[in-house]
Amino acid sequence: MTTYEHRRDELVINSSICVGVLLGDMPGDMEFVPIRPQPATDAMREELRSRWPGRGLRGVGYIGLVDGAPQLALSEPLDGGQLEALADAFAAHIGIIVKSAMTTGSFAAEIERAEVSELERIYAYSDGPKHIH
C-alpha cells in the first residue's frame, strides 16, 4: 500500500499545477496554498493567515494537474460534496492561472521557467547527470 506521504510527494513532483488544500468547518470553506507552478509568497501566506481565525482550517492534502488530469493526495477521506466543491474550486483556480498567463503574455516564459526549475530540482537530487549504457 502506498503511503499518503509517497502519494503527496509524487503528486507535487509530477504536477504542472499543484496546491495544498485547507478545509474549514463550514461546508465549501476552503483555501488553496499554491505550490506549482509558483509557490505561495510570504505575502500570500500572511494574507491567508489573516483570514484563518475562527474558520477551523486544516490541511487535508493536495490536488494537482498531472498530464492534464487532476489527481488527489488526501490525508483524510472527503465526502462526495466536499470532493465536488474541491473539483469546482480547483477548476476555477486553473482557469485563473491560464487566463493570467495568457493575458500577460507570459505563458511561454512561465512554461520555460517551470521546465528549468524542474530540471534544476531533479539535478539537485542526484550526484550529477546519469548516463545509461
**pLDDT at residue 19, rounded to an integer:** 95
Range of the domain at 13: 4-124
Domain assignment present for 133: no
- For residue 1, pLDDT over 80 is answered with no
Lowest average pLDDT, out of 4-18, 82-96, 98-112, goes to: 98-112
Report if residue 53 sits inside a domain.
Answer: yes
Task: Report how far residue 53's alpha carbon sits from residue 62's, in angstroms, rounded to the nearest whole number.
Answer: 22
pLDDT in tens, 15-63: 989 999 999 888 888 999 999 888 888 998 898 888 888 888 899 999 9
Q: Is 132 inside any structural domain?
A: no
Is there a domain that residue 28 lies in?
yes
Instruction: Confirm whether 131 is domain-assigned.
Output: no
CA 41 from centroid of its chain's CA atoms = 14
* Whether the predicted pLDDT of 76 surpasses 90: yes
**Residue 25 domain-assigned (yes or no):** yes
Q: What is the pLDDT of residue 130?
A: 45
Whether 8 is in a domain gets the answer yes
Give the span between the Cα atoms of 57 and 49, in whole angstroms.
Answer: 10
C-alpha cell at 98: 491560464
Q: Determine the pLDDT at residue 77.
A: 93
| Rounded average pLDDT over 93-116 | 67
Distance between CA 15 and CA 60 in Å, rounded?
Answer: 18
Q: Judge contact between 79 and 39, C-beta under 8 A.
A: no
If one counts the domains in the chain, the total is: 1
Q: Of 75-84, 108-117, 118-127, where does mean pLDDT reach its minimum?
A: 118-127
Neighbouring CB atoms inside 10 A of 102's CB total 11
